[in-house]
Chains A and B, each alone.
Chain A
Amino acid sequence: MIDGPKPAATLRLVWPLLGRHLGRLVAVVLLGVGASVSLGLMYPVERHLDTASWSLAEFNSTADFLLAAEDEAEVSASLGRESCLITGWATRLTRGGRTASRLELLGVNASCDQRLTPYPPAARVAFSPVPGPDWVDLSADAAAELRAAPGDVVDAFAGDDRPPVRLTVRGVYAVRPGLPNGAITSAEVLFANAPAESRAFFRMFSTDDPARLSERIDTGPLARLSSPKAPPLVQGRAELLEHAEDNSSASIGLIRVVSTLALVSGIGVAVRELDVFRRHLTKAASLIHRLGGDVRRIMREWTIAALVAACLAGAGGVLAGLIPYVLGILAPALPWQVVLAALPLLLGALALALAAGAISYRLSVRRLIR
């Protein structure tokens, strides 16, 4: 009877038979899970970026209109704190020879709570406070184009006859609110660098529901002060979110296919290797059993060793799969909400592997002892 008092003795005894196979299991699971995670996360990350402006923001309705800048105080007073007035430029940002073109640079009024804008703090991935009004928050796409981080200085194109506006990057947000690139700054800095006749607000975000906002607009000064060429048009956040989700589904269908196939491929590879190891382990245990060894102990300890090794390899694969996102290779940002949403799936896969390991152990031992 082979009975070592310590688990290490048993592991050392059978290592020459199984060590190589265990190493192969670890390597293949690491590669399979890494490839699976890196491609599998692409769809949820891109989907989140496409919809975060509307799903994470705290406004309930938006209105489009044209309001001269000098009338802002009167309108803001009538709407209360729970609203933001927005102006903006269609422009480009440059930094060190790099350009983020086709960029919508929004400007918010001084009393605006940024939670109500398409750049809500919940979507923030990097932040460093900047004193004064010359700050700019970039979308993740714009930050990736410019290779900019908080603290860097970017130039906003203000027109052929004007010098560029220097802004300091304050935050980076995992959002995609409109044009390919986006950013938000203070309305004050945009108005200070724009011709007097073009200083106007064109949008509002409010915590009121669409019906209440429509009523406020109709009975307040906005109806009187807004340009008759652009009567206020009210939309609800749910409507905007649905529109963003439809657009996202249409444009990232290919990524959805790649992500799904990558997950299936990676999981298939990992499951096969676990099964192959189980067969080698059963063969080795059968030999030990014929020599009079404690087959239950061998099977138990090596099943645990294999599951621990596979879980560690899986964890390593997950971390390796996240690297392209942290480095900004496969996506401009890795929203923490996506990682959090993926955790139950990973824990579920782990639970499944442990359950499969326990069942496999019992079945194998029963077959060997028979």
Chain B
Amino acid sequence: MTLGSLAATWRVLLRHCQWRPLLRDALVLTAAGLLASFTVLYVGRLSFDTVRFGLGLDYHSSAPGQHPGGLTIASSDLSVISVRDSQRVHQREQTSLTVWTYAPGDAPRVGRLIAGVVLDGEFSGRGVALDEASAHTLGARVGDPIVLNCDLETPPPPVTVEAIIAPFHEPEDAGNGGLVVVAEPELASRCPADPTSSTTYFDSPTSAPGATTKIRAVIRDATKHGVTSPLVIGVAVIGFGLWALVLRRITQSTCAMLRPHLDLLIALGQSPRPGNGLVRLLIGAMTVFASAVGGVVARQLCRAWTGFYLTAPQVLLVVAVLTLLAWPITSLALKRKG
């Protein structure tokens, strides 16, 4: 079969497509896929953010503790962080952020380390880097002042948000996580507390005790998050079940719509493969549309009613998962139709 005859076959078949039923089916697939989209967003949220953050950091390997020859970042928890009144938002608070502190003089190296996860602004060490979820909760943008509130009687002087970075989660955190990157002296003058742990990042392979490569560290951290529960599993089964049922039905009705014309073409000597290919293309386009819209709707509802911060790129995850799952379902439906 040549490209020309394939194009001609598709032109003939597309001319006989009834677009109103196809549009209706796309909308129904969107509605039917909402639960499945939500499941992908909710279950994949933490791992997605962890992989995105981990891969975005610029280093080769890391090791727990303090080691010579690398960049050491100390980690601790901050109980409350609040933003002052600004023209856009009133004062809000968030609890349980992770704080990364670095030694004075290491600011350029820290800037290189987190350059890949900076979403807005530029980190030079004069201010702090704040993760996207925390910035959203606080209503903070680049250039805004925020207060590292450590339960002192008098709130300490504010620090300026220099950069917004990708969302960050500790392995045991199931909420929105949070991270602020600040120089050690700045934090010590405001919230004197000992760090709970430290990690040293190296630009080349190292034999430091407990060292691991970046890829291994990302996979390890991404798999530590556990968000499944009987409810989530039940919702996933029902959600994906409904979506698969509708997808199968839509594939069957699309085949039935094109069947008389394809039979005629086959009788004239054409191969049935172009017909199947067109059905796959139409179903694939509908799936991409439905999963994108469903992902956006599910994301908005989650953010409005649950407070979970879901990033826009996570909708791409929904599209990828549902489109991949659509392939075997469509193939099975086409095989049964013949």
Contacts and interface: CB of A to CB of B under 8 A. Distances in A.
Interface of A: 28, 31-32, 35, 38-39, 250, 253-254, 256-258, 260-262, 264-269, 271-273, 275-276, 279, 330
Given A28-B249, A254-B306, A269-B246, A262 B24 contact: no
B249 A276 contact: yes
Nearest to A249: B305
Interface string B106-117: 000000000000
B242 A35 contact: yes
Given A39-B238, A256-B305, A265 B24 contact: no
Contacts of A265: 31-35, 239, 242-243
Contacts of B253: 276
Contact of B306 (A32, A257, A264, A268): A257
12 contacts: A35-B238, A35-B241, A39-B35, A253-B305, A256-B306, A257-B38, A261-B301, A262-B239, A265-B35, A266-B242, A268-B27, A272-B28
Contacts of A264: 31, 34
Interface in B130-173: none
A285 to B, nearest CB: 18
A192 B312 CA distance: 61
A257 B301 contact: yes
A258 B32 contact: no
Contacts of B238: 35, 38-39, 262
Contacts, number: 80
A266 B34 CA distance: 10
Given A253-B307, A271-B28, A258 B38 contact: yes
Contacts of B235: 39, 258, 262
Nearest to B33: A265
A35 B238 CA distance: 7
Interface string B276-294: 0000000000000000000
A268 B32 contact: yes
A205 to B, nearest CB: 33
B69 interface: no
B239 to A, nearest CB: 7
B302 interface: yes
A275 B239 CA distance: 22
A182 to B, nearest CB: 22
A9 B42 CA distance: 53
B335 to A, nearest CB: 19
B298 interface: yes
A269 B249 CA distance: 10
A260 B42 CA distance: 15
A257 B298 contact: yes
A276 B234 CA distance: 29
Interface string B29-54: 01111110010001000000000000
A39 B236 CA distance: 11
Given A268-B32, A269-B242, A279 B306 contact: no
B192 interface: no
A264 B249 CA distance: 18
A22 B234 CA distance: 29
A39 B32 CA distance: 14
The 3 lowest CB-CB distance pairs between A and B, nearest first, are A268-B31, A253-B306, A272-B28
Nearest to A250: B307
Contacts of B308: 254
Interface string B214-258: 000000000000000001001100110111011001000100000
A260 B245 CA distance: 20
B205 interface: no
B283 to A, nearest CB: 15
A272 B35 contact: no
Nearest to A31: B245
Contacts of B121: none
